[in-house]
Amino acid sequence: MTELTLDREQVQVDMKTVAHGVGILLMIVTLVLSVFMLKWVVVDKLDKYAPTESSQITTAMRERQLACLSKNIYYEAGSEPFEGKVAVAQVTLNRVNSGQFPNDVCKTIYQKNVFYEKVVCQFSWACDRDSGTRPPNNANYKESQEVAKKVLLEEFRLPGLKEAMYYHADYVNPGWKREKITKIGHHIFYK
Q: 78 and 137 share a domain?
A: yes
Q: 137 and 113 share a domain?
A: yes
pTM: 0.68
pLDDT (tens digit per residue) in 5-58 = 656 665 555 666 766 667 676 666 555 555 555 555 555 545 444 554 445 779
Q: Report the CATH number at residue 64.
A: 1.10.10.2520
Return the sign of the alpha-carbon dihedral for residues 99, 105, 109, 115.
Answer: negative
Residue 81 lies in domain? 59-190
The answer to the question of residue 20 being in a domain is: yes
Task: Give the Cα separation of 53 and 61 in Å (integer).
Answer: 10
Average pLDDT over residues 179-191: 96
pLDDT at 172 over 70: yes
The answer to the question of residue 1 being in a domain is: no
